Amino acid sequence: MTLEVGVLGYRFMGKAHANAMARLPMFFPDAPDVERHVLVGRDEDALADAADRLGFENIATDWADVVDEVDVFYNLGPNHVHADPSIAALEAGTPVLCEKPLANDLESAERMADAAESAGVPTAAAFNYRYVPAIQYAKNLIESGEIGEIHHFRGQYLQDWLVDPEAPWSWRNDAEMAGSGALGDLGAHTIDLARFLVGDVARVSGHLRTFVDERPVDGGDEARPVTVDDAYSAQAELEGGVMATLEASRFATGHKNDHSIEIHGSEGSLKFSLERLNELEVLRGDDRGYETILVTDESDPYVEHWWPPGHVLGWEHTFVHENYEFLSAVESGDEHHPDFHDGLAVQRVLAAIQESDERGEWVEVN
């Protein structure tokens, strides 16, 4: 059976997922057959050009014509268009993968998770960093008890593309379209990894900051207000009393895409940095330093599908692994995680951090 996939969005994420689908038959021969069937967007010329480059058979300018025609729907649009097309697809019984954060507000995320529940088909919230081999290696170490009882989780996601006050305004700077800034765009990934590796978030104390209040619209004299955070930090308590600190910024000068995690347990500690994604630093016991483990052996998660041991993987491979897992679940009908409920759980934490910043006090995550 060939799965016909409809994809809304053809820029950064459209390219990442189209590339992933193209790699599947070469590297994951047991993946379902997939056809990049239809690419959806508003600008017909740009769309036709993108469809050509990204290997799509057809184009459509209205998602409503697509969601019930395809076998799988990918929603890779800006956050404010996550809810309606995804819900329409689910109401038609079509499995959906949606980019993160799940929505631009909690109410929309709740509606999406409800629609997923009623549809009973696989869904995916696209937290691609779960699929870094070193992150799965870390999860295996934690689950096998090698790190002992976890006491601390520390996660930071640093970028610098807004440090220039003249950097142009985009939908990512707008609360209506994005919901939040660094918090939802970057923090959502860190919060998902905290849940994946350690456990659910119970309560938070958050702090948000916008450093530049308006930005020029590309190429003109017009300026538009920035209505989201440029950076956030939060203290959090995870289930079981684990202490967590979380942080993200678009103003971390010199840091392009620096997502790092540290975990301390009673028997050892772990460190991971996306800038060295083939490595995991592991400290066992309290009298030795960190040992760098290269997660590039064929016995390591996903590595056997690629190159001989030591031939390193990169950022784009996380999307291939994510597409493999989700599309395999679509074909088999098996449960898939992270799904829309995981996306909703992260959205609850995002909302609680925003509320905590507004109220100036700790907020429970319900």
Site of interaction with ligand SOE (CB under 6 A): 159, 185, 257
Instruction: Quote the CA–CA distance of 43 and 343 in Å, as a whole number.
Output: 29
Instruction: Quote the CA–CA distance of 145 and 211 in Å, as a whole number.
Output: 42
Shorter beta-carbon distance to ligand SOE: residue 264 or 321 = 321
Closest distance between ligand SOE and the C-beta of residue 125, in Å? Answer: 12
Shorter beta-carbon distance to ligand SOE: residue 118 or 257 = 257
Closest distance between ligand SOE and the C-beta of residue 140, in Å? Answer: 23
Helix (H) or strand (E) holding 150: strand 150-158
Shorter beta-carbon distance to ligand SOE: residue 179 or 265 = 179
Closest distance between ligand SOE and the C-beta of residue 154, in Å? Answer: 19
How large is the angle between the packed helices 340-359 and 188-197, nearest 10 degrees? 120
Closest distance between ligand SOE and the C-beta of residue 324, in Å? Answer: 18
Decide if 271 contacts 262 (C-beta within 8 A): yes
Closest distance between ligand SOE and the C-beta of residue 228, in Å? Answer: 13
Closest distance between ligand SOE and the C-beta of residue 302, in Å? Answer: 18
Nearest residue to ligand SOE, using CB?
Answer: 185
Shorter beta-carbon distance to ligand SOE: residue 61 or 257 = 257
The DSSP code sequence of 276-327 is GTTEEEEEESSSS--EEEE--STTSTTGGGSSSTT----HHHHHHHHHHHHH
Decide if 39 contacts 9 (C-beta within 8 A): no
Q: Which of 201, 322, 225, 52 is nearest to 330 (CA)?
A: 322
Decide if 246 contacts 273 (C-beta within 8 A): no
Decide if 281 contacts 290 (C-beta within 8 A): yes
Closest distance between ligand SOE and the C-beta of residue 285, in Å? Answer: 34
> If DSSP codes are grouped into helix, strand and coil, which group holds residue 251?
coil
Shorter beta-carbon distance to ligand SOE: residue 171 or 307 = 171
Shorter beta-carbon distance to ligand SOE: residue 185 or 357 = 185
Alpha carbon of 158 to those of 5, 209, 247, 255, 306: distances in Å?
33, 14, 8, 6, 29
DSSP code, position 56 = -
Closest distance between ligand SOE and the C-beta of residue 159, in Å? Answer: 6
Shorter beta-carbon distance to ligand SOE: residue 32 or 343 = 343
- Tell me the torsion sign for CA atoms 307, 309, 310, 314: positive
Shorter beta-carbon distance to ligand SOE: residue 257 or 266 = 257
